[in-house]
Structure 1
């Protein structure tokens, strides 16, 4: 349904691995992800930075992060918060005589709404951003994906679907692009596992820093910014969708429901996989391989 959208893609697969946690709080060359840039922050340093950044406007958080963190990218599915971040970054670039843009990473599961793919083209035309697209390994469209993994894998095995469509492509993106830090669209007001997140977080399994510049904003604040600055957004928003993911697991939000209530409705699930612990999937794949008598992927 979206085979004709033109963006840079990468499809080489990588084996899942279970990395150990770094209890000290450091990301260093000792991590199993030592092919990534080394950004070392102690827990004390991280706590200090979060205390200083907590009360800042998202624009100021972004200004700081662009200076402080090397190999900075934005990972986005083009939700409202991510779009606001793109717009703010464009305004920050306009302040500089030597703008240094932040590239985007988009995980194309192949099951996004057509409205999402249409929005991506609008964002490219408006902001001229460079988008790195990562699809499930070795496939380019839904037909190829389902031939390889079976029909409706998202229903028959949601964990396996998350791995092939989201987690492994993200892992590959971080590796190939040598990502040091990523901007995300997560906010505390979205609820679920996001209720206690900080501005800056250490993902010690993947060896990167996660930054949530709009962590303190409500959905209303985000929507007001989009309206005031004429930011392009997904047409589905006007049809009752507040959080948009894959078409097979996203429905409109009812009156009084949480912002992300339309994602995986009726399922015991609040995250798509990319913000869960990587080891969760490594363990799951290991168990699945054992049950099928296959060789367990090397850690």
Structure 2
């Protein structure tokens, strides 16, 4: 793929330079709309392993983001095989967002995969300033996912993800999203570029749940024990349920709520607006507190004068 200076052409898709702030020797990645369309139409005809093989040489500072769901585990296994195939090629590190509310089965799976894939460097990010659920609740209150779901998504997932991308100078990420998962993912492309310029690659976009499950069984890939109990998509324990017959794969996530994504794959502008409104509220509360303090002070002064 080409790496060139941004021109004045109006059809340029936002680009992102891998390690732009710390490794200026790396090329800037710029994908035009036509180039992106061509890549997606071509990659749609390839198997996930071939897509991953291409990604490894096409994108600098490429990482895998994973919550150790079934798709992420397949990708992890494929990347491990590719590393054996070409040991001189750069390895792909993984990023795991530990919200502090994962099922114990998920955390056990993380340890199993570390043993199975010792060549994968795993970067774990938690909510800022918190190491345990108790610390999180002391800082943000109990059941924040109920009292303020947008704030919960921000502090538990979106902010840690953005911190990881910044710390690691991430240019592109591999995700486990698939069209067969339903909801907003039905029109998923292989390659997307978000409004911040982050390139997202969905190598298993065209696979069904059965294809993923078959791969896991046939290749003896470690998987979450909850899969055998009716769970098909596993997130936080407080917002995940088993899936019923005939339901979408992700129907067990946020059941009864008007949401299908945790925030990481939503438009960042939504969270920019959320932060703006939260800051406005904070400033109003500070102003109200200051005015009340002044009123109390004036009231005390009048009493003394009387």
Which one of the candidate residues 181, 184, 187 is aligned to 1:190?
Answer: 181
Is 2:47 the partner of 1:35? Answer: no
Q: State the match for 1:166 in structure 2.
A: 157
* Larger-Rg structure: 2
Shifted more, 91-100 versus 67-76: the winner is 91-100
Aligned counterpart, 2:137: 146
Give the TM-score, by structure 1 length: 0.87
Equivalenced residues, count: 271
Q: Cα offset for 1:222?
A: 0.3
> Following TM superposition, where does structure 1 have runs of at least 4 consecutive aligned residues deviating by more than 4 angstroms?
none
In structure 2, which of residues 166, 169, 180 is the aligned counterpart of residue 175 of structure 1?
Answer: 166
Q: Is the 8 A contact 1:27 1:204 kept in 2?
A: no
Please show how residues 231-250 of structure 1 align to structure 2 within 5 Å. Answer: 231-250=221-240
Find the partner of 1:54 among 10, 20, 44. 44
CA contact (8 A) 1:289 1:295 kept: no
The CA deviation at 1:59 is 0.3
Q: 1:279 to 1:95 in 2, by over 3 A?
A: same
The TM-score, its normalising length taken from structure 2, stands at: 0.85
Which residue does 1:215 correspond to in 2? 205
Q: Which residue of 2 aligns with 1:280?
A: 270
Alpha-carbon displacement from aligned partner over 1:114-166 (angstroms, at most 9, x marks no partner): 10000001101001111000100011111111111111001100000000000
How many Å separate the matches in 2 of 1:71 and 1:215? Answer: 21
> Relative to total residues, which structure has the larger helix share, 1 or 2?
2
Q: CA deviation at 1:100?
A: 2.5
In 2, the alpha carbon distance for the partners of 1:34 and 1:208 equals 12
What's the CA shift for 1:99? 4.2
Deviation at 1:204, TM superposition (A): 2.6
Q: Does the 8 A contact of 2:16 with 2:171 survive in 1?
A: no
CA distance in 1, matches of 2:211, 2:121: 27
1:73–1:105 Cα contact (<8 Å) kept: yes
CA RMSD of aligned residues (A): 1.9
**Residues 11 and 32 in structure 2, CA contact (< 8 A), matched pair in contact too:** no
State the distance in 1 between where 2:284 and 2:157 align: 23
Q: 1:97 to 1:267 in 2, by over 3 A?
A: closer
- After TM superposition, give the deviation of residue 168 of structure 1 in Å: 0.3
SS in 1 for 2:128: coil
Q: 1:195 & 1:189 partners in 2: Cα distance?
A: 6
What do the CA deviations read for 1:197-237 (whole angstroms, capped 9, x no partner)? 100111132x2110000000000100000000010000000
More relative contact order, 1 or 2 (CA 8 Å, 6+ apart): 1
SS across alignment from 2:73:
helix
Alignment match, 1:127: 117
Q: Work out whether 1:92 is the aligned partner of 2:82.
A: yes
